[in-house]
Amino acid sequence: MRDLGAGLRYLGRGQQWVLAHGRWFGFGLLPALITLVLYAAALTALGFYADDIATWATPFADDWGSTGRALTRGVFAVMLWVGVLMLAVVTFAAVALLIGEPFYEKLSEKVEESEGGLPAGTVDHPLWRELWIALCDSVYVLFRTLLFTIPLFLLGFVPFIGQTVIPVLGICVSAFFLTVELASVGLQRRGVPVKERLVMLRQRKALALGFGVPLALAFLVPLLAVPLMPGAVAGATLLVRDLTGTRPTGASGVGGPGQGVPGAPGVPSPYGAPPSPYGAPPPPYGQPGRP
């Protein structure tokens, strides 16, 4: 339960940070706004063609009575739209991060600097390289998301369970992978590969859900995703510092090992989260100590 509350507090602290730094809040709005327009157009088009898709996907119902045919295809159309909406919640952050890569990367760096400094061994790639890595990582996360959302979509047709339990599970799945996407900004800076990011967050599911569930629910509200996106990136950066046990840096570099610094390995987080099992951030690829 402490991790669940910690995730929620990181989300709140991220929103507070961008409101206190209005310039970065403004920079983060434009990519999110562009993404919202693209997604709104796609979801609107799906709404218009959902009945046609349902008819195409259920040819077995052609010979049924009008009531049974209409009910089956109506449920299919609704579940299709809800499933795509859940997928949109997860991919919204990924697309916005790709569109606004330079803005959100810089915003995340400023958050880390305000919290004590960037981690040691920071990986610095050219912009094109960062965009390519982010795109590949997002495709991988999307694939993993579909492994959950497709079975949940099919289970949505089961009476009672499909209308009660499945939507809750869908929100939790969307929330977890939304946190993965947002945390990728800070974890990519540390040279952590996407598969390792998933392992790290699976070990702290409550932290990921505490951060992601309220954000996923808020993203369902039209227009609310745009003003929340900059703060979500800032909050995810704070979460990453907890997840990796990042030590603040002083004028002469990294602080001494575990010198009572909150969030350092072996030192409790100020939000009650357990110490990170990963210790100090890994060195970049190609340097000694990196497999």
pLDDT digit string (tens) for the chain, length 291 residues: 788 999 999 999 999 999 998 888 887 888 889 988 998 888 888 878 888 888 888 888 787 887 888 888 888 888 888 778 878 887 888 888 888 888 898 899 999 998 887 776 666 667 777 778 888 888 888 889 888 888 888 887 788 887 789 889 989 998 999 999 999 989 988 888 999 999 999 999 999 999 999 999 998 887 888 899 999 999 999 999 988 876 554 433 333 333 333 333 333 333 333 444 434 444 443 444 444
Q: Smallest Cα–Cα separation from 28: which of 117, 96, 126, 128? A: 96
Identify the pLDDT of residue 247.
54
249, β-bridge pairs:
254
Measured CA to CA, the distance from residue 118 to residue 186 in angstroms comes to 10
3-state secondary structure of 250: strand
For the stretch 252-283, what's the b/e string if a residue is b when 16 or more beta carbons lie within 10 angstroms of its beta carbon?
A: eebbeeeeebbbbbebebebebebbebebbbb
Q: Where are the alpha helices (DSSP H) in the chain?
A: 2-20, 22-57, 66-99, 101-114, 127-155, 161-189, 194-202, 205-219, 225-244
CA–CA gap between residue 284 and residue 291 (Å, rounded): 10
Task: Determine contact, residues 34/229, Cβ cutoff 8 Å.
Answer: no
What does the pLDDT read at residue 262?
A: 38
**pLDDT at site 254:** 34
Residue type at 231 in one-letter notation:
G
Q: Are 224 and 89 in contact (CB under 8 A)?
A: no
pLDDT at 78: 81
**Other CB atoms closer than 10 Å to residue 183's CB: what's the count?**
25
